[in-house]
Structure 1
Amino acid sequence: MSNRQPTVRVADSAAEAGTAAGLAAAEAIRAAISDSGHARVIFASAPSQQDMISTLADQQLDWSAVQAFHMDEYIGLAPDHPQSFGQWLADRLPAGLGSFDRILPGSDPESERRRYAAALQAPVDLVCMGIGVNGHIAFNEPGSDFDDLELVRQIELDQLSRQQQVDDGCFAALTDVPTAALTVTIPPLVAARTIVCTVVGPRKASAVAAALTGAVDPSCPASILQHRDRAGIYLDRSAAADLPV
């Protein structure tokens, strides 16, 4: 069993958790730019990431040296659809980025899957992620392969993941939520030099407990973070409610 463990920080509020996570992400970007002249960053797109991204965007960084990517994208939504993950990030990431390479499944998701996998061949400096109500990371649903040989995969969305989108206010009804997506797989996410994971809200409490105190098992994809000592997990008190005192 690995001795590598993440750092877990619990804040009094979602805003405070997001602020701490954003400051940690900024520090990781500064370190990457200092070491290699650029920072390759993969971002999650979700309401839980709002405070983290807002904090990060306010930091004085050389944004022209940041190469941004995102974790997943629905198949079947137009790129400018309000619920497109790429559009959500484009509306929130700071101006002046060196690049933002969006996943654009369009009418040929397989070609886009291959293209995006090629773009992720180089090492990633920072991943800013969350944890889903079913323990997913990106759209790697329960049962996903910890050792997936593909860097990007097309998946069918779990029912709980689709319902989460409704509960988060992203879609009005379950029937509006797409059923398929392209997602960056688990290996490139957890291979990043630094992971900043922001999880807030009471609906995430059971998933957080499973991820951090349960077995490291594909039934809870986020449990792989137990073996990542370069991971910081930022929780508000409600998301941490089921953790041992």
Structure 2
Amino acid sequence: MSVVDRASTVNVVVSHTAEAAGTAAGRTAADALAKVLAEQPRARVIFASAPSQEQMLRTLGQDPRIDWSRVTSLHMDDYLELDPAHPASFGTWLSDRLPTAARPGLNRIRQDVDPDGEVRRYSEVVAAGPIDLVCLGIGVNGHIAFNEPGDTDLTDPALVRKVALAATSRRQQVDEGLFPSIDQVPTHALTLTVPAMLAARTIVCTVLGETKAEAVASTLTGPVSAEVPASAVHTHSDVVVHLDAAAATELPQSLRSGGRP
């Protein structure tokens, strides 16, 4: 799919600071989730687990409009062969940052069971109903969840798959302070596929920091390509990308001012 074939419906919002960007993203997510809960009895949300999501989650979790007893939460990836209680386990990381009322509704990926069986089980969890909201980030190499460049099928019929992690993605976990050294970062993970996430009604993306600037520019100004999995957001009809000024440094001025690619 070339640039001209993109839907190009992505809204870009640039804030001066990381805190402001996370707050703005949390408000966007809260607006979307409150709208869903006003229209139907329950909502289903998929969350990323990463430092870039902390302020977004804090803002969303504090919004008084959200009745978390009516929300089922899922997460989009997690490591294999890591103790589920490890603080870098994505399920644990997310549980620690969701509001207390949301934790009973969190359905975690299991890390200490047969991976093939867990692919089947979590695929059934994802397929159990429509996804109303996805809150995601973009990796330094352009991955979303753990769908890595060159190892991603943008039309994958599966919902969950086992993946080998790219060295860049493993290094990112160290650089973000989640592991002390790269040899302690697991080499494999389970991840939702790109189509599983793009099936959501609304997507809110939060990307922070200058280390993500190149990936942001490739995502927002380049072609839709498996070499930049995040670029697939252009094929969705309701996407808002929240950036801080640092993450937006390689964008054209028209996008840094807020707009559509």
Partner of residue 81, structure 1: 86
The answer for the alignment partner of 1:221 in structure 2 is 229
Q: TM-score, normalised by structure 1?
A: 0.98
Query: 2:259: which partner in 1?
Result: none
- The number of aligned residues is 245
User: Of 32, 38, 46, which aligns to 1:34?
Assistant: 38
- Give, in angstroms, the shift of residue 107 of structure 1: 3.3
Letter in 1 for 2:94: L
1:4-153 aligned at under 5 Å gives the runs 4-60=8-64, 61-97=66-102, 99-121=105-127, 122-143=129-150, 144-153=152-161
* Larger mean Cα displacement after TM superposition, 131-140 or 219-228: 219-228
Cα distance in 2 for residues equivalent to 1:200 and 1:79: 27
Answer with 94-103 or 62-71: which moved more.
Answer: 94-103
**Alpha-carbon distance in structure 1 between the residues aligned to 2:83 and 2:16:** 38
Q: Deviations over 1:103-142 (max 9, x none)?
A: 0131311111100000111210000000000000000001
Over residues 6-54 of structure 1, what are the superposed CA-to-partner deviations in whole Å (9 max), with x where a residue is unaligned? 1000000000000000001111111111122111000000000011001
- TM-superposed CA distance for 1:225, in Å, is 1.1
The one-letter code sitting in structure 2 at the alignment partner of 1:49 is: Q
Distance, in Å, in 2 between the alignment partners of 1:12 and 1:2 is 28
Kept in 1: contact 2:47–2:75 (CA 8 A) = yes
For structure 2, list consecutive stretches of 5 or more residues without a partner in the other structure.
254-261
Residue from 220, 238, 241 that aligns with 1:233:
241
Q: Deviations over 1:194-223 (max 9, x none)?
A: 000000000000000000001110000001
Identity of aligned residues (%): 51
Spell out structure 1 runs of 4+ moving beyond 3 A. Answer: none
Cα root mean square deviation, aligned = 0.9
Gaps of 5+ in 1: none
With over 3 angstroms needed to count, the CA separation of the structure-2 counterparts of 1:3 and 1:148, relative to structure 1, is: closer
2:113 & 2:130 partners in 1: Cα distance? 29
- What CA distance in whole angstroms lies between the structure 2 residues aligned with 1:124 and 1:219? 26
Instruction: Say whether the 8 Å CA contact 1:105–1:113 is kept in structure 2.
Output: no
Could you say what secondary structure the match of 2:177 adopts? coil
Q: CA deviation at 1:3?
A: 3.6
